[in-house]
A and B are shown apart, each in its own frame.
Chain A
Amino acid sequence: MHPAFSVIFLTTLIGAGQGLFLALFTGQLYSTVHLVEEQPGSFYAVGSAIALALLVAGLGASFFHLGRPERAWRAAAMWRTSWLSREVIVLPAMMGIVFFYGLFHWAGWTQPFVVFGDGALPVDATFVLGMLGVVVALALYVSTGMIYASVKFLEEWHSPYTVVNFMFLGTASGFMLAAAYSALLNNHLVGFFGTWAVIATLLGLATRIASLLRNASLKHQSTLQTAIGIRHRSIEQKSQGFSAGSFNTREFFHHQSPATLKLVRNAFIVLVFPVPIALIVLGYLLESPTLPVVAFSLQYLGLLAERWYFFAEAEHPQNLYYQHVS
């Protein structure tokens, strides 16, 4: 497939935005039960603003993928059958929850409705919004992943790995960003967010490598024989029906050399996994305010490469029909 930067930015930006929200709310939960230091409302408000900015930027990027962006509102119609439609509904819902979560923290509307267990667990509006947000964030990861995983012809994508990779890698970058944010504020949550970022990154490493191994030994179901229905071992295309390009040759081919693909793959394996883990650990040990920021930035860069490779790696069966110009 042709890796479109609109979709690469969409999936990586909203992944990080959702992840950051999950990180903020995880921090809130831990501080509610006094496992980590309590933070002021502004910490959550600014954090939510960053998460919202990422989600908005991702949505903005997605519009560049559309031929007719002015009709984008129609895309919510077919949620019964289309994962894309479901994503179009869940993404604004996520944005709304993040917005109100930040707003309630900023305005200080955090008076508990009920308190469970002798003051151990006060439930306020941000708690409810946060729990709702967790569900919606997970639903959004699933929707985004299923857009790709549900296309059974794209066998590289048609696997549960696609969904869990989106989930773990997005969560990893979100927690990494939360650690960077805490480091800049110089509060004590760097270690907390950093630990979760490392855990999510390691989980992502396991599932992403598993999917790479799976795809390396993938045997495609369709062949030129089934494509044109002629039973002969030796079939060669002599003409694809036109002399230059078409939508079929632009959309479904990456037009890059195998060496480039290999380079991008190796680059993302290094940039997404070992480098940020090393930097965040180093940043924690040195109490550096900038190293976690570098860790997040490099991991995000790596995720761009990861997503690029994700698209380029997928071999569409229609390519069987477009092997030779004339």
Chain B
Amino acid sequence: MTQLALVIDLNVCVGCHACVTSCKQWNTSGWAGPMVDENAYDANPTGTFFNRVQTYEIGSFPSTETVHFPKSCLHCEDPPCVPVCPTGASYKREDNGVVLVDYDKCIGCKYCSWACPYGVRELDEQQKVMKKCTLCIDRITDQTLPEAERQPACVLACPTNARLYGDVHDPDAEVSVAIRERGGYALMPEWGTKPANHYLPRQKNRMHVSEEDLQRSDNPLTKEDITVYSGEETLDDVSW
């Protein structure tokens, strides 16, 4: 079974919000209708987004670190938002594991948003239906696109390659290798939702420079010169 997902590398995310804007651009222009904004150029702007980038400060001054944290639907393998939906508008695709909302069936009761511990579902204030990340389902399943472009808009937009995309059930996929070898973790594991999206932790890149790296210990000039000098003229003093 395929489970498409994102793996987000917190090590390289710089918090530029390119994934947010590219997501909004792609999904607001699609067949599913706009993701509406209200007061976009006024006080208190608000709107529908599938993806947000948040910023956290870890530690206390002066030993602090800033972590940018992109947050979108995690496409849980056991999504709690799906069974609570009274109309069946919320569903998980059998073929690729993407959790979707059928906007034509949604009655806007918001129950699914209550049943999501991550707060990644947002009610569209004008269309009055629940919206969420589709993993750009209209891109990734579009066979007319070249294969390299069959990826979510956020993944293509990320300038630091902090967003990896693929099938987390395929052990050889880039995402699976990244999760396995770089300590990929799931959010709020205590709820047993088994999020498909994973995050790669911050890793400190420390250089270990030893004395031997700086000075060539086996330099033949230093190694083999065993003469003991005592102020007499040496070969170095000879001008050629």
Contacts and interface: CB of A to CB of B under 8 A. Distances in A.
A237 interface: yes
Contact of A78 (B71, B88, B201): B88
Interface in A39-80: 65-69, 71-72, 74-78
Q: How would you classify the secondary structure of chain B's contact residues: helix, strand, loop or mixed? A: loop
Interface in B114-133: 114-119, 121-123, 125, 127-129
A232 interface: yes
Contact of B123 (A67, A82, A84): A67
A147 B119 contact: no
Given A78-B88, A230-B58, A243-B45, A67 B128 contact: yes
Interface in B42-59: 43-49, 52-59
A241 B54 contact: yes
Interface residues of A, number: 57
Nearest to A232: B58
A228 B56 CA distance: 9
A159 to B, nearest CB: 16
A77 B56 CA distance: 42
A106 interface: no
Contact of B128 (A68, A72, A84, A153): A68
Contacts of B188: 222, 226-227, 317
A177 B65 CA distance: 61
A147 B189 contact: no
A255 interface: no
Contact of A241 (B71, B114, B128): B71
Given A1-B114, A245-B46, A82 B84 contact: yes
A156 B119 CA distance: 17
B85 A229 contact: no
Contacts of B116: 153, 318
Nearest to B105: A74
Interface in B63-96: 66-67, 69, 71, 80, 82-89
Contact of B54 (A1, A239, A316, A318): A239
Interface in A197-231: 221-222, 224, 226-230
A238 B57 contact: yes
Most buried by A among B117, B118, B122, B202: B117
Contact of A67 (B60, B69, B108, B189): B108
Nearest to A252: B119
Contacts of A65: 109-110
A75 B54 contact: no
Interface string A151-165: 111100000000000
B44 A245 contact: yes
Contact of A228 (B69, B85, B87, B129): B69
B31 interface: no
A130 B202 CA distance: 64
A154 B54 CA distance: 23
A78 B122 contact: no
B187 to A, nearest CB: 6
Interface in A291-323: 316-319, 321-322
Contacts of B115: 151, 153
A153 B186 CA distance: 16
Nearest to A87: B86
Shortest Cβ-Cβ A-B pairs, 3 listed: A67-B108, A318-B119, A67-B128
Interface of A: 1, 65-69, 71-72, 74-78, 81-85, 88, 147, 150-154, 221-222, 224, 226-230, 232, 234-248, 251-252, 316-319, 321-322
